[in-house]
Amino acid sequence: MKNFSTVGARLLVASAIYGVTAASAQALQCDFRPNAPDQHVVVKGDTLWDISGKFLERPWCWPQVWGMNREEIRNPHWIYPGQIVYLDRASGRLRLGTPVGARGAGGAGGDPSGLRLSPQLRMEGLGKDAVQSIPTGDIEPFLSQPLIIEDDELQNAPRIIAAQEGHVFLGKDEKAYVRGDLKDGTSFQVFRPGKPLKDPVTKAVIGQEAFYLGTLKLTAAAKPGSDVHTFLVATAKEEMGKGDLLMQTPPTPMRNYVPHPPERKVDAAVVAIYGGVSHAGQNQVVSINRGKLDGLDIGSVLQLYHKGKTVTDPGASKGWHNLGNPQVKLPDEEVGSLFIFRVFKHISYGLIMQVTEPVEVGDVAKSPE
């Protein structure tokens, strides 16, 4: 492996290219690791985040060093096992090479060392073997289930008013009787409201947790003169029954996640950690008190910080150093990065991608610096 110096290979890309407004645009610094390898052979199970982490100090910078433009961020490229990612040290870019003689997008087997490369900026394609941007197993339940209810979404929601005769709770393939306006929907999720979510800063209620119970399919709409619909339980994660609420099943979510800075400067706080625990580590999901109305979208990356505590300086109270106020706030300490994968109006879900210390409710999440 060649010795590598970051001098001349530091890529500064204007954030405006990636959708950041002019008011908050700033140069984003993407440094390569001092021990960055010359190349990496893609294997099954790799993610673009993991691959980029072998080359970059901040793995979320990979759209910049791949040279992706704004349109390609919306529709990211895919790479496949067997291909080779190599570092073009002259330009400070990562490039994708295919071994000569490789068959299809999956590349060739065997030892790739010594194979000639056919350099390419990108390889586009579709397929179940394509390398994903981030590990999706931990976030699948959060992609299509409500879990957070905002504003007036609970008002006039259809609700279960009765279970199949003789049943208190409903299970798979059992009938449920529902009252309310379906708004032409036929497929619904069932949920039960949970505790309110409060903004750690303002203490205002900004949403409500929702416990996902399962799904219902409409079998018979209400007849004239009635407002009671007949449903069948399609799936049952938990027991559901009288009083539980319905929400239309959302469209299939986007899964082509590409990390990028938020549209504008974001200063958020961790509202809750999924599962009701007090601390979160890597690959755990947290919610923050900012959403699409604050400039966040799917793929936004934020830096996580422990909020600096306020301490008393005994020397200041005695007039030492002429510093005045004895109450001093310590600097926020960076502890990791957060990848936003689902966005509501005022709340977002994020996956902790890297962390050096456990994340707590109230920790700071803000735009990369």
> Which DSSP string do the residues of 215-250 spell out, in sequence order?
EEEEEEPPPTT--EEEEEEEEESS-EETT-EEEEPP
Confidence of residue 141 (pLDDT cuts 50, 70, 90): low
Please report the pLDDT score of residue 112 as a whole number: 36
In a domain, 258, yes or no: no
Please report the pLDDT score of residue 150 as a whole number: 77
Please report the pLDDT score of residue 344 as a whole number: 87
Mean pLDDT check: name the lowest of 164-168, 249-253, 280-284, 305-309.
249-253
The half-sphere exposure of 141 on its side-chain side, counting CA atoms within 13 A, is 13
Q: Clarify whether residues 15 and 115 are in a common domain.
A: yes
Q: Give the residue, 99 or 106, on which the prediction is more confident.
A: 99
Whether the predicted pLDDT of 121 surpasses 60: no
Total structural domains within the chain: 3
In the DSSP assignment, the letter for residue 253 is P
Please report the pLDDT score of residue 254 as a whole number: 56
Whether the predicted pLDDT of 39 surpasses 70: yes
Q: Clarify whether residues 147 and 243 are in a common domain.
A: yes
In a domain, 259, yes or no: no
In a domain, 66, yes or no: yes
Please report the pLDDT score of residue 138 as a whole number: 64
In a domain, 126, yes or no: no
Q: Give the number of residues written for the chain.
A: 369
Q: Clarify whether residues 244 and 273 are in a common domain.
A: no
Please report the pLDDT score of residue 102 as a whole number: 46
- Measured CA to CA in angstroms, residue 161 lies from 15, 127, 170, 175, 229 at distances of 52, 44, 12, 11, 10
Q: pLDDT digit string (tens) for 185-224?
A: 999 999 888 888 888 888 888 888 888 899 999 999 999 9
Q: Clarify whether residues 201 and 281 are in a common domain.
A: no
Q: Clarify whether residues 116 and 148 are in a common domain.
A: no
Burial class, 253, CB count within 10 angstroms (exposed 0-12 / middle 13-18 / buried 19+): middle
What is the average per-residue pLDDT within 161-188? 89
What is the average per-residue pLDDT within 43-50? 83
Q: Clarify whether residues 182 and 218 are in a common domain.
A: yes
In a domain, 136, yes or no: no
Please report the pLDDT score of residue 285 as a whole number: 87
In a domain, 311, yes or no: yes
Please report the pLDDT score of residue 203 as a whole number: 86
Residue 283 sits in a domain of what CATH number? 2.40.10.410
Q: Clarify whether residues 192 and 98 are in a common domain.
A: no
Q: Clarify whether residues 305 and 241 are in a common domain.
A: no
Whether the predicted pLDDT of 282 surpasses 70: yes
Phi and psi based region of residue 161 (left: phi greater than 0; alpha: psi -120 to 50; beta: remaining): alpha
Please report the pLDDT score of residue 82 as a whole number: 86
93's tokens: 């870019």
Whether the predicted pLDDT of 118 surpasses 50: no
Taking the alpha carbons of 183, 185, 186, 192 in that order, is the dihedral positive or negative? negative
Mean pLDDT check: name the lowest of 79-88, 95-104, 133-142.
95-104
Instruction: Give the C-alpha separation, 63 to 73, whole Å.
Output: 7
Whether the predicted pLDDT of 18 surpasses 80: no
What is the average per-residue pLDDT within 331-354? 89
Domain that residue 154 falls in: 142-248
How much of the chain, in percent, has pLDDT values that exceed 90? Answer: 24
Confidence of residue 78 (pLDDT cuts 50, 70, 90): low
Instruction: Give the C-alpha separation, 264 to 366, whole Å.
Output: 10
Q: Clarify whether residues 17 and 96 are in a common domain.
A: yes
Angle at 51 between CA 77 and CA 360, to 5 degrees: 105
Q: Give the residue, 133 or 304, on which the prediction is more confident.
A: 304
* Cα-Cα end-to-end distance for the chain: 31
What is the Cα 355 distance to its own chain's centre? Answer: 15
Q: Is the pTM of this model over 0.75?
A: no
Confidence of residue 304 (pLDDT cuts 50, 70, 90): very high
Residue 177 identity (one-letter amino acid): Y
For residue 236, which of 163, 314, 148, 307 has the smallest C-alpha distance? 163
In a domain, 293, yes or no: yes
Instruction: Give the C-alpha separation, 72 to 40, whole Å.
Output: 23
Instruction: Give the C-alpha separation, 242 to 23, whole Å.
Output: 51
- Which one of 215, 248, 281 terminates a domain? 248
Q: Give the residue, 124 or 225, on which the prediction is more confident.
A: 225
- Which one of 248, 282, 317 terminates a domain? 248
The half-sphere exposure of 239 on its side-chain side, counting CA atoms within 13 A, is 6
What is the average per-residue pLDDT within 78-91? 81
**What is the rounded average pLDDT for all residues in the chain?**
76
Instruction: Give the C-alpha separation, 131 to 51, whole Å.
Output: 10
Instruction: Give the C-alpha separation, 43 to 78, whole Å.
Output: 13
- Measured CA to CA in angstroms, residue 255 lies from 134, 341, 342 at distances of 9, 9, 10
Q: Clarify whether residues 38 and 115 are in a common domain.
A: yes
In a domain, 362, yes or no: yes
Residue 118 identity (one-letter amino acid): S
Instruction: Give the C-alpha separation, 199 to 270, whole Å.
Output: 9
Mean pLDDT check: name the lowest of 53-62, 116-125, 293-302.
116-125
Q: Clarify whether residues 238 and 274 are in a common domain.
A: no
Q: Clarify whether residues 64 and 101 are in a common domain.
A: yes
How much of the chain, in percent, has pLDDT values that exceed 70? Answer: 71
Confidence of residue 296 (pLDDT cuts 50, 70, 90): very high
